[in-house]
Each structure stands twice: as C-alpha cells, then as structure tokens.
Structure 1
Amino acid sequence: MTASLFIEQLTFSGGASIALEPDSIVVIVGPNNEGKSATLREILGRSGAVSSEKSRHVVTDMKIGHRGTAEAFLERLAPYRLPGGKHYALTALQDANIFSKIKPSSIGGSSLLSPDPKKIRESILTAFWEQQPGFESLSGTFFHLLDLATRFKATEPADVFNLTAEIPTSPIQNMCVDPVLADRLSRYFQRAFGQALIVNRTAGYTLPLHCGDVPPLEPGEDRVSPSYARKLQALPLLQNQGDGMRSFAGCLLEVSAADKHVVMIDEPEAFLHPPQARFLGTLLAREKPVGRQLIIATHSGDLLRGLLDANPSALQIIRLTREGNVNHACALDSERIRTLWDDPILRFSNTLDSLFHEQVVLCEADGDCRFYAAILDAIQPEDADTRRPDVMFTSTGGKQKIPEIAAALASIGVPTRAILDFDILNDRSPLKEAIEALGGRWDAFEARWKRVKAGVEQFRPELETAHVRKEIEKLLEQVSTPTFPLEVARSIKGVLKRASPWDAAKDLGLDTVPKGQLRQVAEALLADLKQLGLFVVESGEIESFDQTVGGHGNAWLAEVLRKDLRQDSHLENARRFVRALFSQPPRALS
C-alpha cells in the first residue's frame, strides 16, 4: 500500500464535523462569500505550511490520518533523500520540534538530533511514522494549495536536472522522465484548446513548455537535432498564453505529476468556458493518483458535472453557508449524488447548479421556471441599492421527480421550495413523498387531503360517458386519410379533458372544491403546504394566471412574456403568488 497522509476530519465553526475518506475527491460548494476559498487557506494554515494562528474562522479543527508502512513512507520521501541514502532534508520536522515525542529506545537510544540541523536520519523518520507524534508537522510539506498564482507558476520553465542521478521534483521534470504522461497531458490540452503541449528538452538551462502543432521530423532529423530544436524554439511558450490555458495546464500538471498527498484547488474553472470547465473536472478525477486526496472549492456546476462524468470511486460534496461569522457545513452522501446523476432528465438539466445558490425553487417544467423567474424580476424594487435574492428556478421534468430532488437538496442544506399545479392533490403519490422530503409529516395532511380530493371529484363533468363516446365517434367519422389529422387528435383530447374533474381542476383550481366548510379545509391545507415550502397554484396551473391569452405551454408563455409584467392588471395574481413565495424565509433542513 502506498503511504499517504490525508485529512481525516474537518470541523467547521458552525459545529459540523465531516469525515473525509483517504482516497477521495472532496468538492466544496455553496453561494458566493460563504467560506469555500477560506476553507482551503485555513487547511493549509493548520497544516503548518503557513501561519495557522491568523485564520481559524471557518475550520476550527482538523484531524490528519496516515496509512501505509514506514518503508512505503520513506519511498515517498525519495525526493528529499540526501546522497548516502541515510539522511533526508526535511527541515519541517526540525522546525516543529517534535523529536521530544519520539521514544529514544525506538532508534537505538542514540541522540535524536543530527549534527547537521538540515539533515534528519532515516531511523528518526521511521519512528516518526510508526509512533505518530504529530503529522501536522509533515503536512506542510505534503499539502499543496493550487490558487491561481500557483497554477500559473507551474507552467513556467523548470530547471534542467540529471535524469540518471536526480529525482524529478516538478511536474515538467516528471513529464521529461515519463513520456506516456507527457503524451497524455498533450492530448488533453489538444482536445481543450486545439494545440499540443510540448516539453522542450533542448532549451539550455530550463525546460519550458510550448504549445502549438508538434513539428514534424524531417529525414535525418531527431528530437535533439539543432534544426528540430529551432522549430520547437519558434513555438509559443505556454507561460505567455492566456489565463485560461495556463490555469487549465497548471491544474493538470500539479494534480497528475506532482508528488503531494493532499492537493487543494481553488476555483479550477477560472477563465474557462463551460465545456472546458466540464472537461477539466473529468480530467482531474481521472488523473488524481491513487492514494491521494483532492479537495476542490468551486462555483461551477460544469466542473462538478465533469467530476461526476468520470464516476470516481469516492466523491464527497460539502456545501457551506454562513450566518454572520459562523460557517455551517452539510455533506451530500455519494449514494444520493449517484442517484441524482444517473437520472437522464436530471443529468442534462441545471439541477446541480442549485448547490451554488442561496435558495432554490423547483418547478414542473422549464416554461414554469421562465415564467416565475420573470415575474420575480418584475416585482423587484428598481432601487439599485436593494440586494436581489440569490434564487434559482429549476425544472424537475414533472411532479414525480420533485420529492427525490427536494430530499437531496434539503439534505445538503439548500433552502428549497416547490411550485405545483393544483392537480398534485389528485394522487397520494407524489404528494406524500414531497411533503416528507421537505420535513413534513404525512399524517398531519392526509385526512384533509382525502376530504379535498373527494370534494373535487364531486365536481360534475360537462359530459357523461355516453356523451363522451358519442363525441369521439363523431370526430372519428370525419377521418378518411391514412395519416391521422392533428386537428382531430386535438379535438379528441379536448373532449377527454372536459370529461375529467381533475382536468377541470387544472383550469379552475380551488373553484372545483364545493363552497362552505370543505372550501375552508382546502384553503387551510394549501396554507399549511406553503409553510412547508410546497406552493400549490390555487387557480389551477400556470396558464390560469392570465386567461386573456390563448394557447398552452410555450405558446402561452411567449405571448405573456411580451406584456408589461410589472403593471399588467391581468398578472396581478401571478405577482401576488410570487411575492408570497418569498414572503417567508425558506426552510433549510439538515
């Protein structure tokens, strides 16, 4: 087994302690300014790489674990081994003064200190690994934070080194000794930017990276020929390219070719277009070496989708939010992540972007999302100083998916509401599951729901069964063409719609409930559902908000969105509905 240090547990200022797996990819998400980047900096501070006293606002405690044998640990320290093979240049251990915690008997009773303070004996390192006196002292050496400046630096030329006597210590040096790695990274870069990534081994005292088309070898020419070297020298240097190219390459270089136990990346999606961010997410998951921990702070749903595309064995998502100076953390378990991602409807929707917003509203269809988002925008104060709500409307592709998505978002602390057409009251499922997903108890609603459902079903259809049959037969008698006419199909659908009380309820909403006590029960039921976060359209469905516009679905929506959404009198009920949607703080469940 490869020896490695890893973060075993993080405790946040809100009190949540989250266990991390040794060989995992941990993705930290959440709205803006909630502590994602600060988490990475404070991890590095606690590891000893930088001062840990100045920044302990987000992460209040961190436990570091280790696994593997002492022999494997020494093998990982090979880049720090000094000539002779019995001493190592690890001043971090000397500076931390941990030797007092090591039992002298474990190293033969000899002095713990080396005559040369820059050298640490191999026997001391073995005892250190086996006795575990304080791994925080080493984590500063083996934890690495890739902020933007670090990623840019990784693309700068590396020092030339002796391939036969020295161990490579930089990613570009590793590309020199591993042509398979170099070719793989070049192909990735080619796919992302249309250019190859080439190490120039003939540039003198440094090893620069070039990008462009790989120069062809002419007859009698090889890769160390002066003529070929001149061709390489003429190619653009990566270090002089745009920020997106440099950041992309820096992330890949440091994750795949640097010998670090824990690599942290702050906003790897910076300067990248959405397809490139998604591709980078996939590559980071694929290229992370076995036995290492990768921790990513991101604002990008595209990067997260790329990570999920790679299907890593251990993926953890932590969502951060902040109240004043307190940071709350919730973890979304991998099983629920996979359940959401395996659903094809959700896979190609924007549902995952919910993790990056302060609150989310689930709608049955994309058109619903556009309508309610437009109304919310219209009712916002025109005062530029008023902060607009950070809310995302997302489609679930129908009622049936709402409970599953609501439960997943609620479990990671995303304040969630759902808007449903009135016919959600038609069936026990998915109404029951939606109530329970948002923290409600079905037994608190069931009796009232049954009464309302029965009342709606007393609503007499316009046509009896015999009349429905007769109307449809009339329509079918008109058909003589091999292809069934679209207008006849629509007419038949209209007949069936008038025959069902619940189809009428989609048009009329509460007006299909008998007046009197039963109407009061229905109104109280809908009010309690609102308190839970389930907003039922009392007038029926989205088209009922403006019945002066004909059509259905996108045709109706296109016409309505041309109106003055702020002042049109026919949309007052829609504005009132959306105001009520945000009149109370959303419920955040854990």
Structure 2
Amino acid sequence: MALFQDDEARKTIRDITYDALGKYFVIDPTGMTSLRIKMSEEEPSGMIEQGLNEDSRAFHTNAIDISEMSDGVKAFTGLVSATLCQDYKVLLIDEPEAFLHPPLARKLGKTLSILTKEKDSKIFVSTHSSDFVMGCIQAGQNVNITRLTYSQGVPTARTLSSETIYEMMKNPLLRSTGVLSAMFHESVIVSESDADRAFYQEINERLNYFTNDGSTDSLFINAQNKQTIGRIVSPLRKMGIPAAAIVDLDIIKKNHEFKELCKSCNVPQALIESWGVLRGNINKIFENNNLNSNKHGLPDLPEEHRGTLELLLSNLRQYGIFPVPRGALEQWLPRLEIENNRHGPGWIMEAFDKMGENPEEPEYVKPTDNDVWEFMRIVSLWVNDPSRSGL
C-alpha cells in the first residue's frame, strides 16, 4: 500500500527491475480486496497501473504475477521494494544473494547500497557472496567488512574499513584475482602462474582424497609473477586470512623480489637482512656447481651443502613462504618423464594427461611420502594451523 501511494518510489523500482530483469514492476489493484505485485513487459503509462477500467484490467491481465516467477526474481524485487517502501534507519538482511545468480547478486549489492545512501540509512548484511560485496563496493558508498570466523573452537572478527577496501579495489591485480572470494575460505595459497595454481590445487585434492592431509577449504589463486605475489598475500593477511606463497627457488637470487615478498609476509626487517649472507652463500654454491636455481634444487646440490639451503627454506616456511625445493614446477614428479623443453602450460597439460583422470585406474598417480606430495603437506600444515606466524 505504501508503494501504491508513492508514484516516485514505484518509478524507481520499475527502473531498477527493468535494468536487472528486463521487466517492469507494477502493482495490480484490480483484485479489489488486495494489491498484487506483477511484472510487466510493457511500461505503464498515465493512470493505467492504478485504474480499474477495462484498459487497466487488460494491462494487468497481460502482466505476470510475481508468485509465478522464480525465487531469484522474488528475492531481488522484494528486497528492493522493502528498502524503498519503509522508513527505517537500520535495515538487517540475511543472505540477500539467496536464489540469485552472480551478476544479479552484484547488481543487488550495488542497488541496495545506493538506495540506503539516498535514504540516509544504514544496512547490515550477512552474506557469503563475493559478488554481492563487490556490487556494494562498486556503488561508491562507504562499505565496511567484518569477517567472522570460527575455527577449532576459536571465534574471530576482523574488520576492514571502507578506506582499506577502497585502496585494495583500486589495484587491478587484486580485482582480477578474486581477493574478495578469499574472505569466504579458511585460507589461500598463492602461486606465480596459472599453471602452478592448477598443479598444486590438483595435488592438494588428491592428498585430501587418498590421505586426508591436504589443506582444508583453501582457495588457490595465482599472481602474474614473483613480483606480484606479495601484493596479493599482504591484503589477505590484513583480513585475517592465512595466505601462503609458493615461489620458484630462484627467488633467493633476486634481491629486490625476495625482500619485497618477505615484507609482504611480515618478516621482520632485521631477519630479512640477516638472511642476506645465507642467500649469498647459497647462490655461490649453485654457481660453483654450475647449477641453475630455476632448474635445480636440493637433490642436485652436493650433500655437504644441502643443510645451508634447508636452513633458509625452514626459516621462510615459518612465515608462510614456500620456495620450491626442487627448483620450479617442472622439476616435480620426474617419473612422469615429461619432455625437458616443456614449460608452464605445456608442461601442465602433459603432466595432467600422464597423472590420469580416474582414481580407480592403476595408472592414476596417487600420493607418496616424498616429492611434491610432501611439499604440499608442509604447506597445508601451515595454512591449517591457527597458531601460524606472520598474521
């Protein structure tokens, strides 16, 4: 009734529903004893929506009663209608994205944010949808996010201010990697490239399938290179999300990239500087033995020098930084006998082909106690441990 008497509010809802759903919101009074919400293909003109004459009855007969439409249409229209028709200062909404596909959830977030700003009111939303959250942010209004978790009997609450969120979303890299989706996972594992991401995610899934010792509820995402991993890990940790970084071993000889990644992972500056000598010794060992840290690793070093590299790797792991001890992605699972010149996407396609698809088949590659399986177990222990360092 409030909307039926408010021409401006109905016009606003019509514009919103047509933009989102391709149909016009109308209120049908022709039932005489009740008002019914309908969705029309045709925009009402003049008094045809509120009239009771033959033209009005014909118009509403051609419109679809909202009770006959999908739950998504009902949810979207109902929330927008409730926001506009009531005079409130605070509105509480639980799971507004229910029944909505991602683009509509994003549009709803943007619409509700704009409407509440226009009404000078506040809205509190409980949601599990990164699309809804992104829509709220895209509205350009002040949005604060509080991430609530409950793990191993320990509840936590971490709030991101609108200023922090705005700075994060200005970064194209963070927008494109789905950082907001990470809020709805227990942890995140960040690797250098999409090939790395796909491989380590598959290894983790096989660990959980056969031995149940992989990371639980982890989101695997990739940066563009070594330089950008830290830009993803840092804001995730500010949100209280355990974020581990997997990098190729040659990070140890790239002074600037190494230091920036360590800073992003909250390694104390004094410790970063102290590792400089250790890194120098390791790089010298590789050079003296004609080894490339991008293609060689611990197994290739003389046994008397392996302890030096193991010490650095152990120190880095405490802060959630995991250089590949074998060198790089392509050095894992040598028994697959992949061509030496394969790299990145080419390597991963051949690796997946040889690893098999059906767990019941004999040739399906299963976890063992060494190689990449042990590496991922170590990563999993860190992201699954609530007492981890560096957060």
TM-score tier after normalising by the smaller chain length: 0.7 to 0.9
Matched residues in 2 for 1:407 and 1:184: separation?
41
Q: Choose from 379, 382, 385 the match for 1:581.
A: 379
Measured in 2, the distance between the counterparts of 1:387 and 1:428 equals 31
Residue 353 of structure 2 is aligned to residue 555 of structure 1: no
Q: What does residue range 45-64 of structure 1 map to in structure 2 within 5 Å? A: none
Give CA-to-partner distance per residue, 1:263-306, whole Å, 9 cap, x none: 11111111111111111111121221343111111111111121
How many residues are treated as equivalent by the alignment?
Answer: 375
Alignment partners' CA distance in 1, 2:228 and 2:193: 11
Tell me the CA shift for residue 256 of structure 1: 3.2
| Contact 1:445–1:525 (Cα < 8 Å) also in 2 | no
**CA distance in 2 between partners of 1:579 and 1:542 (Å):** 16
Query: CA–CA distance in 2 between the matches of 1:298 and 1:450?
Result: 48
Quickly say closer, same or farther: Cα 1:379–1:569, change in 2 above 3 A. Answer: closer
Separation in 1 of the partners of 2:355 and 2:285?
Answer: 39
Q: Summarize the Cα distance change of 1:199–1:340 in structure 2 as closer, same or farther, 3 Å threshold.
A: same
Aligned to 1:380: 208
Q: Map residues 131-530 of structure 1 onto 2, 5 A cutoff.
A: 158=1, 168=2, 172-173=3-4, 176-179=5-8, 181-214=9-42, 224=51, 225-288=53-116, 289-312=118-141, 314-323=142-151, 327-382=155-210, 389-453=216-280, 455-456=282-283, 459-460=286-287, 504-510=292-298, 516-517=304-305, 519-530=306-317
Deviation at residue 259 of structure 1 after TM alignment = 1.1
Native 8 Å contact 1:363 1:419 kept in 2: yes
Distance 1:510 1:334, change over 3 A: farther
State TM-score, norm by structure 1: 0.58
Structure 1's 451 and 222: CA in aligned 2 closer, same or farther, altered over 3 A?
closer
State the one-letter code of the partner of 2:196.
Answer: D
User: Partner of 1:132 in structure 2?
Assistant: none
Largest Rg, 1 or 2? 1
**Is contact 1:411-1:589 (8 Å) kept?**
no
Residue 576 of structure 1: how far off its partner (Å): 1.7
| 2:295–2:331 CA contact under 8 A, matched in 1 | yes
Alignment RMSD (CA, Å): 3.1
What residue number does 1:490 align with?
A: none
Q: Quick one: distance in 2 between partners of 1:589 and 1:443?
A: 15
| Residues 232 and 302 of structure 1, relative CA distance in 2, 3 Å threshold | same
Separation in 1, partners of 2:73, 2:367 = 51
Alpha-carbon separation, structure 1, partners of 2:367 and 2:146: 44
Deviation at 1:355, TM superposition (A): 0.5
Q: 1: distance between equivalents of 2:16 and 2:350?
A: 46
* Identical residues among aligned pairs (%): 26
The 2-side partners of 1:569 and 1:286 are apart by 52
Residues in 2 aligned to 1:216 and 1:255: alpha-carbon distance in whole angstroms? 22
Report deviation, 1:222.
8.7
Answer yes or no: is the 8 Å Cα contact 1:403–1:434 preserved in 2: yes
Cα shift readout 1:17-66 (whole Å, capped 9, x = no counterpart): xxxxxxxxxxxxxxxxxxxxxxxxxxxxxxxxxxxxxxxxxxxxxxxxxx
In 1: Cα distance, 2:97 partner to 2:389 partner: 28
Instruction: Give, as a single letter, the amino acid of the residue that structure 2 aligns with 1:506.
Output: N
State whether residues 320 and 390 of structure 2, in contact with CA within 8 Å, keep that contact through their aligned partners in structure 1. Answer: no
CA distance in 1, matches of 2:348, 2:314: 27
Q: Counterpart of 1:206 in 2: which secondary structure? A: coil
- TM-score of the two chains, using structure 2 as the length reference: 0.85
Q: Partners in 1 of 2:345 and 2:389 — Cα distance?
A: 32
**Residue equivalent to 1:28:** none
Task: Please give the alpha-carbon distance, in whole angstroms, between the structure 2 residues aligned to 1:383 and 1:376.
Answer: 10
Work out the CA distance in 2 between the residues paired with 1:411 and 1:383: 32
Give, in whole Å, the separation in 2 of the partners of 1:388 and 1:427: 29
- CA distance change for structure 1 residues 430 and 294 in 2, over 3 Å: closer, same or farther? farther
Aligned in 2, Cα 1:451/1:589: closer, same or farther, shift over 3 Å? closer
Code of the residue aligned with 1:554 in structure 2: it is: P
Structure 1 residues 556 and 461, CA gap change in structure 2 (3 angstroms): farther
Whole-Å Cα distance in 1 between the matches of residues 302 and 367 of structure 2? 25
The CA deviation string for residues 241-263 of structure 1, in whole angstroms up to 9 with x for no partner, is 21111111112122233211111
- SS across alignment from 2:124: strand
Q: Is the 8 A contact 1:399 1:420 kept in 2?
A: yes
Inter-CA distance 228–259: structure 2 relative to 1 (3 Å threshold)? same
The DSSP-based 3-state class of the residue aligned with 1:557 is helix
Secondary structure at the aligned position of 2:240 is classed as coil
* In 2, Cα distance between equivalents of 1:239 and 1:221: 22
Q: Is the 8 A contact 1:215 1:231 kept in 2?
A: no
Tell me how far apart the structure 1 counterparts of residues 211 and 375 of structure 2 sit (CA, whole Å). Answer: 22
2:313 is paired with a residue whose SS is helix
Q: Secondary structure at the match of 1:417?
A: strand
Amino acid paired to 1:577: F
Q: Distance in 2 between matches of 1:197 and 1:291?
A: 24
Structure 1: segments with no counterpart, 5+ residues: 1-157, 159-167, 463-500
Residue 401 of structure 1 aligns with an amino acid whose one-letter code is T
Residues 212, 388 of structure 1: alpha-carbon distance in 2 compared, 3 angstrom cutoff = farther
State the Cα deviation string for residues 374-400 of structure 1 (Å, max 9, x = none).
Answer: 01111224489x998111111122222
The separation in 1 between residues aligned to 2:76 and 2:214, in whole angstroms, is 34
CA positional deviation for 1:581: 1.3
Cα pair distance change 1:338/1:454, threshold 3 Å:
farther
Is the Cα contact below 8 Å between 2:210 and 2:367 reproduced in 1? no
Please say if residues 265 and 295 of structure 1, whose CA atoms lie closer than 8 Å, have aligned partners that are also in contact. Answer: yes
